[in-house]
Amino acid sequence: MINWAAFATVAIATLVGAVVVVGMYSLGVRLWAVSADAGTSAHRTARSGAVACFAVCAAAVLYGIYLIVPFFH
């Protein structure tokens, strides 16, 4: 018998995870582009925000690899 509650939990977690990673990456790219503009006064703040967004994406990917590969457990 299929456990539909567990299936729904995994589907929702996957959807939320994908939205978060793609959203953080998109925000990082946008902040990086803003920081490259010559006329902005918030150059360092935008660049720091972009690096933080990319770090969150990298951490999510590394955690996913950790969960998938049994050697790391």
Q: Are the C-beta atoms of 66 and 72 separated by less than 8 Å?
A: yes
State the residue range of the domain holding 36: 16-72
Rg for the chain, CA atoms, rounded? 17
pLDDT per residue as tens digits for the range 1-51: 889 999 999 999 999 999 999 999 999 999 999 988 866 677 889 999 999
Q: Is residue 20 part of a domain?
A: yes
Say which residue the tokens 């933080």 belong to: 52
The reported pLDDT for the residue numbered 38 is 62
Neighbouring C-beta atoms of residue 47, cutoff 10 Å: 15
pTM for the complete prediction?
A: 0.82
Please give the tally of structural domains in the chain: 1
